[in-house]
Amino acid sequence: MKNNLVITAMIVKETKVGIMRVGNVNYISLTDIARQANSENPSGVIRNWMSNKNSFDYYSLWEK
């Protein structure tokens, strides 16, 4: 598994955003993106995203 793991980052609007690649799938750090909106408490931004009605619709589709 470790051979298939690549960790890198990119700069988006002067904010470093972590990216982890596992196999052929990229995962982007939502916490790093949320820090752009609220550097002191990015978890609040993520909570708002997750409680949004559109997010719930997406979770429902994901589960199917």
What pLDDT does 5 receive?
A: 82
Task: Kindly tell me if the per-residue pLDDT of 38 is higher than 80.
Answer: yes
Average pLDDT over residues 47-62: 83
Residues whose CB is less than 8 angstroms from the CB of residue 27 and which lie 6 or more positions away in sequence, other chains included: 19, 20, 21
Q: Residues 9-34: pLDDT tens digits?
A: 999 888 899 999 998 888 999 899 99
What pLDDT does 42 receive?
A: 92
Number of domains in the chain: 1
Token pair 């990119």 is found at 10
Residue 54: C-alpha distances to residues 10, 14, 26, 38 (Å): 27, 28, 23, 21
Task: Kindly tell me if the per-residue pLDDT of 53 is higher than 90.
Answer: no
What pLDDT does 2 receive?
A: 59
Domain that holds residue 12: 2-63
